[in-house]
Structure 1
Amino acid sequence: MIAVVRSELYRSVSIMSSWLALIGFAFMAALFGWFSREAWSLFAGLGAFGIAVTVTAQHFQHRTMVLVYLNHPHRWRVLIAQCLSAAVLGTVLAAVSGVAVLLDDNAAHYRSTVLVAPVMAVFGTLCTAVVRRPLWLLGGVFAWLLFAEGIINRMAIGLPFASFAMASAGNTKALLFLLAWTAAAVPVALWAIHRDLSD
């Protein structure tokens, strides 16, 4: 299991697109951090989700997932390794992009966001295991965030990204909602990783 995690982490940091995505998402989150700690938290969560989608989907885009599954026939172990790898990258992204928030004497908000960011990264990995196509997933998330969470739900507690934003401010109930969304994605992702890879 440790070898699979090490392999996923090495692959994630050795591909240029992973670095570009990490830097891009971190820059966007840091930029919004200068204006508002809440905006930084939301964009740090979106960045953690986005980097997880980017890193996980590369296997499907480059058709290397077949080789990974041949090398590691227990597909659930590969999924766990991808979740751990994405959690590490999501944590790094949140920690680096929130320097402005930390310097503005918001240490508690910074700490809670960095602690919740890995959950959003794991959620992103699980969603990618189901959808497999990053542009479809990121486009769908943008529409979901705009319409379902923004306009219809008005960023109230209950849906995943609003729950992340509130959990990053220290709301325990919101964290439970985010964990529930992530837990609900687990069985769907476990089903999805056993699908044929030829699509």
Structure 2
Amino acid sequence: MIAVVRSELYRGVSIQSSWLALFGFALLAALMGWFDKNFWSLFAGIGAFGLAAIVTAQHYQHRTAILLFLSRPHRWRVLAAQCLVSALYGLVLAAGSGLAVLIDADAGQYWSTVLVSPVMSIFGTLCVTVVRRPLWLFAGLFGWVLFAELLINKGDGGLPFASFMLAAGGNTKALLVLLGWTAAAAVPAAWAISRDLSGD
């Protein structure tokens, strides 16, 4: 598994779109941090999710997943390595983009968001493993956040992104809910990782 982690890290830092996504999401979150710490937490979480989805989906878009799975027949190990690498990217994104919040003397919000962002990255990796097409995932994400989480649930928690926001503010119960959503997403992802790639 260590070899897969090394390979995923190298692939992530050597592909230009990964760097652009990391820089773009981090810049957007940092800009939001100058205005409001909650906006920063929101964009750090969405950025961690989006970056993980983009980096993981590149395997399916560039058709390198076939070679990867031929060389690593235990696909669940590949999925675990991808989750680990995505969590690291989410941690870097949140830690780097939130310096304005940290400078503004709100260390509690900063550290809570930095610690919860890797969970959102893992959630993004698991989701894109099921969907495999980032455009479909982002369109579904937009609709989910807009209708399910904001209009229907009114951001009260219990759903993934609302739970992330509450957990970023230091709510331990919301963190457990987010972990529950991530664990639930692992079940279809474990099934989807073994699907045939010829139809993608």
The match for 2:144 is 144
Q: Secondary structure at the match of 2:13?
A: helix
The TM-score normalised by the length of structure 1 is 0.99
CA distance in 2, matches of 1:42, 1:163: 11
- Alignment deviations for residues 26-47 of structure 1 (CA, whole Å, 9 cap, x no partner): 1111111111111110110000
How far the C-alpha of 1:100 sits from its partner, in A, is: 0.5
| Cα-to-partner distance string for 1:162-185 (whole Å, 9 max, x where unaligned) | 100100110001001100000001
Instruction: Write the distance in 1 (CA, Å) between the matches of 2:34 and 2:169.
Output: 17
Partner of 1:157: 157
1:1-199 mapped onto 2 (5 Å cutoff) = 1-199=1-199
Q: CA offsets, 1:125-164, max 9 Å, x none?
A: 0001000000100111011111110111111110000100
Runs of 4+ in 1 over 3 A off after TM superposition: none
Partner amino acid, structure 1, of 2:108 = A
Unaligned runs of 5+ in 1: none
- 1:108 deviates by 1.1
Letter of the 1:165 counterpart: M
User: What fraction of aligned residue pairs are identical, expressed as a percent?
Assistant: 68
1 CA distance for matches of 2:185 and 2:161? Answer: 14
For 1:96 and 1:35, how far apart are their aligned partners in 2? 16
CA RMSD of aligned residues (A): 0.5
Q: Which runs of 5+ in 2 are unaligned?
A: none
